[in-house]
Structure 1
Amino acid sequence: MLANHHKFQSAIILLVAAIAFMVIYNQVFDGKLDSNGDNASYYILGKALANGNGYVNINNINKEANNHFPPGYPVIVSGIIKVFGDSPENLKIANGLFLLLTLIALYFLIKHVTNRESAAIIALLLVIMNSHLLRYSTIIMSEVPFLFFSTATLLAFTKINYQKPPWKDVYLYIVIALLTISFHIRTSGVALIVGILLFLVISRHWKHVAIITIILLLLAMPWQIRSQSLGGSSYIKQLKMVNPYRPELGKANFKDYFSRFGNNINRYLSREIPTATLSITQPNYRQAASISEWLYGIFFFAVIIFGVLNLKKYKLLIFTYLAGTLAILSLWPDVWIGIRFILPAIPFLILGLVNGLQELLIRITPAPVSKYVIWLPVLLIILLFPNIKKMKQQAKAEITTEWANYFSLAGWVGDNLEENTVVACRKPGLFYMYSNCYTVNYKYTPVAQDFINDLVIKHVDYVIMDQLGYSSTSRYLYPVIQNNPEKFELIQERSKPSTYLFLLKD
């Protein structure tokens, strides 16, 4: 009878949470194509798979095999395209559904590890109101699907029965399947694998360690073999560079890695962890972190760690996962700033924050009162409403004139030039989606002749010079066009700000 009551209560809580999420999601849903570029790449790869072209860049005239993005999310995209058509809006909505499914898995996971319904409810509300999670659930990116599969992995892991032989435990195989999917959606899923294996090693469950390790290696091998046959992982190559956006600076040395580690830890502690978790402020990366940001960030992080270490169950599992995630991110190139890379960890940071605040309140209040004051963290939701309002405004806003001009030229190319035209531009995936012509990026080199030779090798017919704000345009493209006017003929222009389409002459 009591079990049925708890099931009914959980069902009501999840129903209310789902309704709240759908209401907010509908208000902040942005139908515009995001300008980050990777979303277009995922769409292109998914469309290639759906059309039977294989895992290739169909926007490239040579249909070259893609070796940058893991195949997991493009496979999901291809399935959606096959069933529902190739409208980008369908893919956006699918990511919203992935976040909704994540909420369900999170509720049961948090309730299990905290042994408190209040913690699960408060954390769920903070996740629903988190502007970063909401934003990524409305764009065609892999973070939210990865969040669902990684959360489902952790939930399934808590169901493993160590009293029975591991090869007879169905949950172990569910965990392995979900781990495999997670890793093939985002390479950073290795943090999840490391976190789980560390938990098992410290807990001395050696048979589980052996089974998971062997099966995962076998399942990961095909993609790794393919990757090596195509020259190795592009992520590893970028990791070894001083700056992926300035290849002329060469490979990073020990001093560069040490500096990168310090810069990343500085940024994550003082800014990105607090901002990601509560999404209250927007950091100003043009300025160094202030003393107040540092003090707030350290206190904030301390509460999260305190909360994780005081979980009733599986504290080691959550801790090792978060530690593995931060360890990997600390070695990422420090020019990759922003919330994106830490986004899949946000619900677990929220879990640590809520449990930490509740544990502190329990310790400083008398026992009869503590069962009421543990609900106080729910007041944090009040701080999140301004961001929801801002997201509503952004969803209704028009795209900036810089991007409008860029897409206008893409449309002109699609309407007026031959189908096999090759255009060199920044964000070639996005240009392809509006022009349906072949696109490539130009080479990031300050040597003009190398730049031009690369255009010839790539069979480039036209070049776009944009005003999107990327430093590569002014650093590499503009000087070449300015100093070699005989090579570039102006064909089309959009003004305010000026955006140009040049013909590359022989």
Structure 2
Amino acid sequence: MSEVPYLTFSLLALWLVERGVGREGLWGNWWLVGGFACTIWAYYIRTVGIALLAAVVVYLLLRRDFRRCLLFSGAAFVCWLPWTLRNQAIGGGSVYIKQLFMVNPYHPERGLLDVSGFVERFIGHVHRYLTGELPNTLVPFFGGTETIFHPAPLLLIALAVAVTVLCIKRGEHLLLSLYTAFFMGIVLLWPWPGDRFLVPIVPVLVLLGVWAVLQIRDRLAGGYVGRFVIWGCFLVCVIGQTGGVKRLADYATADYPPPWLRYYQAGQWLKANAPEDAIVLCRKGYWMYIVSGRRCVGFPFDEPAKVLAHMERERVDYVVLESLGFPQTGQYLYPAIKEYESRFQVVWHDPVVPTYVLRFFKQ
């Protein structure tokens, strides 16, 4: 997945920009130039990097550094334009921007969201992240959090308020707080929630949270009281992570779940038997590409005739029919295969967890 490389370059960009902004000028300021390069590269890796671009621009505006803000914005536009034109040329534009405005990207026929739809999605995701993804990621030792009035969501809300107030009053970590606000804004407006979307922002959240606790300690008192607060928080976090570390160790030694193991084996078969220039149609294309080394395409969530026309247009050679549990496979891909059964030949299958590799006969 691209979250980890994006995390690497986004953190590097934040560090370099922060150091570069503190130095005069632009030409010869390699910290700022390097930060710009990493910012653009992070955007190329994941479209959510637009949050990083926006954070840097607003940060420079708040510092009244208008000249470098204008130069940064102009250079970003110059780098953004070829990528956008390239997307237009090969696929009709940014898929992610289109998905953001859809009611359900898996059912495009449902149309686009209106303002009230965005508000409803935002409120629903705020509740979901505060009671699910964020506590499970940052403070998993609290256990189940069905309600927003559970200690875990309340702690996270208190920390968020403290970070915001301290950043504004002290003028510290403004770039990080701006980036966090823009990034979480995109996450909360995205069509579906998930903890994987938090991966790139977790280190920033942890840093800001620890910084806020330290600032609060200094304000409360020094000496033994301050030490008690810090060591108490440290011990709670360390002890609370024990179960999570054990779960990660178990995951590391475990095999794939049976449906994913069969999907992996289908990819291995394609890698060993399909021509290198073969094109594979499947549900999880990125994953299959990594395993098989063959170009992979998805399928439209539409009627059988249009699915088959898509296969012809993309010059598909093989189709993977899996049991991963995604409803679109049964709703759209399987009916197309069933209706045009004579156009397909089974070349590999697993009868235990039904998984098939089918050869597609093009016309």
- State the TM bucket, normalised to the shorter chain: 0.7 to 0.9
**Cα RMSD for the two superposed structures:** 3.1
Residue of 179, 184, 187 corresponding to 1:321: 179
1:307 maps to 2:168: no
**How many pairs align?**
357
Q: Which amino acid aligns with 1:159?
A: R
> What is the aligned partner in structure 2 of residue 196 from structure 1?
56
1:187 to 2:47 alignment: yes
* Alpha-carbon distance in structure 1 between the residues aligned to 2:185 and 2:118: 13
CA deviations 1:342-364 (Å, max 9, x no partner) are 22211121123223333444444
Partner of 1:494: 350
Q: Which amino acid aligns with 2:187?
A: L
Greater alpha carbon shift after TM alignment, 424-433 vs 342-351? 424-433
C-alpha distance after superposition, 1:83-119 (max 9, x if no partner): xxxxxxxxxxxxxxxxxxxxxxxxxxxxxxxxxxxxx
Check conservation: 1:307, 1:351, Cα contact below 8 A.
no
- Residue ranges of structure 2 left out of the alignment (5+ in a row): none
For 1:219 and 1:436, the matched residues in 2 are separated by: 30
Read off the aligned partner of 2:227 and give its amino acid letter.
Y
Between the aligned partners of 2:342 and 2:282, the Cα distance in structure 1 is: 19
Structure 1 position 406 matched with structure 2 position 263: yes
Contact 2:271 2:292 in 1 (8 A): yes
With structure 2 as the length reference, what TM-score do the two structures score?
0.84
In the alignment, structure 1 residue 383 sits paired with structure 2 residue 235: no
Structure-2 residue corresponding to 1:430: 287
* Equivalent residue, structure 2, for 1:454: 310
Mapped pair 1:395 → 2:256: no
Show the counterpart of 1:11. none
Q: Cα distance, 1:494 vs. partner?
A: 0.8
Map 1:124-203 → 2, pairs under 5 A: 141-160=1-20, 164-165=24-25, 167=27, 169-203=29-63
2:135 maps to which of 274, 292, 298: 274
One-letter identity of the residue aligned with 2:198: I
Aligned-partner Cα distance in 1 for 2:274–2:85: 39
CA separation of 1:440 and 1:180: change in aligned 2, threshold 3 A: closer
Q: For residue 306 of structure 1, report the CA deviation from its aligned partner.
A: 0.4
Query: Could you tell me which amino acid in structure 2 is paired with residue 498 of structure 1?
Result: P
- Kindly provide the amino acid, as one letter, of the partner of residue 180 in structure 2: L
Superposed, which structure 2 residues align to 1:337-356 within 5 Å?
337-356=193-212
| 1:215 aligned partner, one-letter code | A
Deviations 1:15-53 (A, max 9, x none): xxxxxxxxxxxxxxxxxxxxxxxxxxxxxxxxxxxxxxx
Q: Structure 1 regions of 5+ residues with no counterpart?
A: 1-140, 284-288
Deviation at 1:157, TM superposition (A): 3.3
Secondary structure at 1:500 match in 2:
strand
Shift of 1:150: 2.5
Partner Cα distance (2:273, 2:27) in 1: 62
Cross-structure match for 1:235: 96
**Using a 3 Å threshold, how does the CA distance of structure 1 residues 204 and 426 change in structure 2: closer, same or farther?**
same
In 1: Cα distance, 2:351 partner to 2:142 partner:
34
User: Within 1, Cα distance between the matches of 2:287 and 2:281?
Assistant: 12
The SS at the match of 1:469 is: coil
Contact residue 322 and residue 355 of structure 2 kept, 8 A: yes
Q: 1:207 to 1:418 in 2, by over 3 A?
A: closer
Q: CA deviation at 1:467?
A: 0.7
Change in CA separation of 1:370 and 1:181 when aligned onto 2, cut-off 3 Å: farther
Task: Find 2:125's aligned residue among 264, 275, 280.
Answer: 264
Change (3 A) 1:309 1:484: same
- Looking at structure 2, the residues matched to 145 and 356 of structure 1 have their Cα atoms a distance apart, in angstroms, of 27
- TM-score when scaled to structure 1? 0.62
The runs of 4+ residues in structure 1 deviating greater than 6 Å are: none
TM-fit CA distance, 1:466: 1.0
Higher relative contact order (CA 8 A, sep 6+): 1
Deviation at 1:281, TM superposition (A): 7.1
In structure 1, distance between residues paired with 2:160 and 2:69: 28
Q: Which amino acid aligns with 1:495?
A: P
Distance of aligned partners of 1:174 and 1:450 in 2 relative to their CA distance in 1, 3 Å threshold: closer
**Is the 2:130–2:148 contact (alpha carbons within 8 Å) kept by the matching residues of 1?**
no
Q: Distance between the aligned counterparts of 1:278 and 1:476, measured in 2?
A: 40
Paired letter, 1:249? R
| Identical amino acids, percent of aligned pairs | 28
Contact 1:199 1:316 in 2 (8 A): yes
Structure 1 residue 412: Cα displacement = 3.6
CA displacement, residues 314-340 of structure 1 (integer Å, 9 cap, x when unaligned)? 24322212111122222221x2x2122
Distance in structure 1 (CA, Å) of the matches to 2:352 and 2:249 = 27
SS of residue in 2 equivalent to 1:463: strand
The CA distance in 1 between the partners of 2:279 and 2:7, in whole Å, is 37
Quote the Cα distance in structure 1 between the aligned partners of 2:27 and 2:359.
Answer: 63
